[in-house]
Amino acid sequence: MKFFIDTANLDEIKEAYDLGVLDGVTTNPSLMAKEGIKGDDNVRAHYKAICDIVDNNVSAEVIATDYEGIIKEGKELAKIDDKIVVKVPMIKDGVKAIKHFTSEGIRTNCTLVFSAGQALLAAKAGASYVSPFIGRLDDISMDGLTLIEDIVGIYQNYYFETEVLAASVRHSMHLLECANIGADVVTCPLKVITSLLNHPLTDKGLAQFLADHKKVNS
């Protein structure tokens, strides 16, 4: 299972990378805005800075929503670095653009996916990744994890190569359920990854080991 971090914050990306378990980064326009990144040149420079930290898989989202615009913007993003994956929204022109990018060898991440039908379309178009949003479905009292399960099953039925990238992951139980289901990737905030470290019995056991060691070595 791949771990991606869902942020545009360089310090958090470095921290996750230094942990040694990071496989990629996803960003979106809201996350870029949160870091105060504006203007085409600054946006490109920021994506380059992210690519310089990690080994691969940096999702950079297009802003255009028409076919020609998505193609132009996606090609410009892909030129920044070989690690870039062009993130395209699940809309009609987006699906057409994913098909085109696939034919040109440009990797894509189809984002804002909320149904199995949308995921099927993304796979048919040849998306490298499909991003179903778990947390946002949970927010409206729908079951985000059931969607992940459905998509994993459908892709297995037809041997689609599109990887299921579980997004909008809010806590460690989301992540662990995705692992149980067999999602290929999860993207989440740093705190969700680091929360996997925690167990009270680990803390208690370590304190005991250190205390026992101290008893005979002081």
Chain residues that interact with ligand E4P, rule: CB under 6 A: 6, 26, 28, 111, 131, 133, 135-136, 167-168, 187
**Closest distance to ligand E4P from the beta carbon of 138 (Å):** 10
Assess whether 87 carries a catalytic annotation.
yes
Structure token digits, residue 32: 């870029």
Instruction: Indicate if the alpha-carbon torsion angle 66, 71, 74, 80 is positive or negative.
Output: negative
Residue closer to ligand E4P (CB basis): 9 or 28: 28
Beta bridge mates, 108: 86
**Closest distance to ligand E4P from the beta carbon of 136 (Å):** 5
**Closest distance to ligand E4P from the beta carbon of 191 (Å):** 12
Give the chain's largest Cα–Cα span: 73
Residue closer to ligand E4P (CB basis): 26 or 128: 26
**Beta strands per DSSP E along 80-162:** 84-89, 108-113, 129-132
Residue closer to ligand E4P (CB basis): 181 or 207: 181
Nearest to 81 by CA among 120, 119, 49, 125: 49
Supply the DSSP symbol for 99. Answer: H
Given 34, 72, 75, 87, which residue is catalytic? 87
Among all residues, which ones are annotated catalytic?
87
